[in-house]
A = this chain, B = another copy of it.
Amino acid sequence: MTQNIDDLLPEGLEDRLPQSARAAARIEASILHVLDSTGYDRVRPPLVEFEAGQAQRMAGEATRGQFRFTDPASLRTLALRSDMTVQIGRIAATGLADAPRPLRLCYAGQVARIKGDQLDPRRESLQVGAELVGTDTAAAAAEIVQLAIASLEAVGATGISVDFTLPDLVDTLAKAELPLDPSQVEEVRRNLDAKDAAGLRKAGGEAYLPLLYAAGPLEDALRRLDEVDAGGVLDSRMDGLRMIAAQLGDRARVTLDPSERHGFEYQTWFGFTIYVDGLRGALGRGGTYRIGGTDEAATGFSLYPEDFVEAVKADEPARDALFLPPGHDAARAQELRGQGWRTVAALDAADEGRALGCTHVLRDGQPVAY
């Protein structure tokens, strides 16, 4: 066998070999089953779309991270999808514009980006998620958060924690409780997101300093947030968070980092990040948003289970396999497959079942353990 430069894969792009592919397939199927059984219909958008259409729905910036190329048919720029959420929004706004609301859609597929980052060097990953289109109420958010957790429970994840955030917190406070000049808002937001107290003061955001310390277990964090919000403009949001958390019971630890914005640039009042024990990075995120172009309210979540797949692949149960020797009865083999046996047929006399990973051999029409 030769091994040369052309056998290598580009940085951040990988093959899933059988063990990993099997874990990924099981995880994808289990999550899709949860979503389907909760009324979410699967849709399948294409791998590639016009860049302009995606840019419009991604608020511009994000398409810079996409693989882009010219379409010889239209001479317009195409982009390989980097986020299926955007595509689901387009489907809701076009092909399913007339479907009754709330519209429940789910999806699973590969997405790619031109650059990995320090936390995750991958440039391709599986994205699985659900979108609830036509509503962004606390009840919608509660359904979506529960669905994300049920999805992880279904694949055997343990120690689930959810970190809530309020993506438009600064905008809301700046209009009422803690007035800011519109020119200051972006700077205050950025410094809060960076947890930079000095920067926050410099930006004229002293009043926002307590928010830096308002992160933590939900009830503690809400208490501190309440102190900042003397006028109560956040009351309905805080009630919403309590309602979502109450419905979770003890299925997940819940924390709140009210001013976390990173990854939630396009969310409206509610965002969440989801973690499981044993994995450093987030497994997914979600929240409320408005669909680009139509401005329809929506709530959804996406999971990126790559790290989880790698963490659990070694635990995939071993499987029996039945070797079918040369001259075996094909009808009997078919019958045994129908009973759940996995078979491996000899193609010539030199093939040997154990060497091919088989646990059993067919003798006189019966599977016999090696």
User: Which A residues are closer than 8 A to B by beta carbons?
Assistant: 1-18, 20-22, 24-25, 29, 32, 36-39, 41-50, 52-53, 56, 67-69, 71-74, 76, 78, 80, 87, 90-91, 93-97, 100, 102, 104-105, 109-110, 112, 114-115, 123-124, 132, 135, 137, 139-140, 143, 247, 293-294, 296, 321, 330, 337, 341-345, 347-348, 351, 355-357
Contacts and interface: CB of A to CB of B under 8 A. Distances in A.
A15 B91 contact: yes
Contacts of A29: 29
Say how many copies of this protein the assembly contains.
2
A6 B294 CA distance: 12
B17 A47 contact: no
A20 B3 CA distance: 42
A38 B7 contact: no
A36 B17 CA distance: 14
A39 B321 contact: yes
Contacts of A73: 10-12, 114-115, 123
B94 A3 contact: yes
Given A16-B44, A48-B80, A93-B1, A342 B39 contact: yes
A29 B26 CA distance: 11
A18 to B, nearest CB: 4
A160 to B, nearest CB: 16
A37 B9 CA distance: 30
Give the 5 A-B CB pairs with smallest separation, nearest first: A16-B44, A39-B344, A6-B53, A18-B41, A13-B46
A232 B209 CA distance: 90
A236 B80 CA distance: 47
A183 to B, nearest CB: 31
A270 to B, nearest CB: 14
29 contacts: A1-B296, A2-B293, A5-B52, A7-B53, A9-B46, A10-B76, A11-B74, A13-B48, A14-B46, A15-B43, A17-B43, A17-B96, A21-B42, A24-B44, A37-B341, A37-B343, A38-B342, A38-B345, A39-B356, A46-B124, A68-B69, A72-B115, A73-B115, A73-B123, A100-B357, A102-B347, A109-B110, A110-B110, A139-B347
